[in-house]
Structure 1
Amino acid sequence: MKQSIVHIALVVRDYDEAIEFYTKKLNFTLIEDTYQPEQDKRWVVVSPPGSVGTTILLARASKSEQESFIGNQTGGRVFLFLNTDDFWRDYNDMVSKGIEFVRDPKKESYGMVAVFKDLYGNLWDLLQLNEDHPISKRMG
């Protein structure tokens, strides 16, 4: 049996501002932006550069209950984990583009890590996992 997680939905306030942030500040690729008239919404998918795995579905809040979760989908915990092949390249690029880091870079047993906020305040780890880490081995 083979299964995979295709998308993770990220609740956003506005499609265009989210696309702008993810493509211009984080260098993600816009994979799809399709209007769905029957639901008056868009299907917007972005992906980190060079990634062939899970993508992020930018899902605009359509109800007041959803709006309250924008920027806080996990109650203040780190929500998403962006692994890179060059931590310092990406960290310095993100800092130069005004990304707010809330935890400075730190060498951990599993690799380099720093925590940043996206445009809504969701917390992300920027990671460069050690080559011997089980996930690095799976990514080959």
Structure 2
Amino acid sequence: MTGMAQRIATVALIVTDYDEAIAFYRDGLGFTLTSNTPLGDGKRWVTVAPPGSTTRLLLAKAADDAQSAAVGMQGAGRVFLFLETDDFDRDHAAFRARGVNFLEEPRREAYGTVAVFEDLYGNRWDLIQPRPDAASAEGKSR
């Protein structure tokens, strides 16, 4: 399939409340609120994105018991999302100052510097600065 270009544009993340999720991602992680559009019946199209990223998170409010049960468990207890940075120390310090909960101290691995943190619902993320000479963090999850 030559000549074909694709990318993941948006990943849905189930949340319990739009506004508390916006506050965490905007104020805690420094993401940009890229859309917040009412859809009727209390639903909204809410997306956030890290600075400089074209990939967005859709903050999707749980609509029933099954979706509510999945909040915070979309990765089944494993690292679910990987946030790459160009300056680990800067972002790690800023996130900690804003109250982001890290589950470990930073580690230096063959592929880069990494530490696991939780979002406000308990989903696990890697904050990672890849080594310039290493492949991306693909396949490095626990």
- Which amino acid is the alignment partner of residue 34 of structure 2? I
Taking the TM superposition and a 5 Å limit, the aligned residue runs for 1:11-50 are 11-37=14-40, 40-50=42-52
- Structure 2, unpaired ranges of 5+: 138-142
- Under a length normalisation based on structure 2, what TM-score does the superposition of the two structures give? 0.91
Deviation at 1:50, TM superposition (A): 1.6
Percent identity reads 51
SS at match of 1:88: helix
Partner residue, 2:111: 110
CA distance in 2, matches of 1:85, 1:74: 25
- Which amino acid is the alignment partner of residue 46 of structure 2? V
Partner residue, 1:119: 120
- Structure 1, unpaired ranges of 5+: none
Note if contact 2:82-2:126 (Cα within 8 Å) is conserved in structure 1. yes
Deviations along 1:54-105, one digit per CA (max 9) or x if unpaired, are 1100000001000001111111000000000000000011111111111210
C-alpha RMSD of matched pairs (Å): 1.2
- Which amino acid is the alignment partner of residue 66 of structure 2? E
SS at match of 2:103: strand
SS at match of 1:59: strand
Deviation at 1:40, TM superposition (A): 3.6
- Which amino acid is the alignment partner of residue 81 of structure 2? L
Deviation at 1:51, TM superposition (A): 1.4
Taking the TM superposition and a 5 Å limit, the aligned residue runs for 1:63-102 are 63-102=64-103
CA distance in 1, matches of 2:106, 2:130: 13
Partner residue, 2:140: none
CA distance in 2, matches of 1:3, 1:51: 15
What stretches of structure 1 move > 6 A for 4+ residues in a row? none
Aligned length, in residue pairs? 134
Note if contact 2:111-2:136 (Cα within 8 Å) is conserved in structure 1. no
Partner residue, 1:51: 53
- Which amino acid is the alignment partner of residue 31 of structure 1? T
SS at match of 1:65: helix
- Under a length normalisation based on structure 1, what TM-score does the superposition of the two structures give? 0.92
Note if contact 2:26-2:33 (Cα within 8 Å) is conserved in structure 1. yes
Deviation at 1:134, TM superposition (A): 3.3
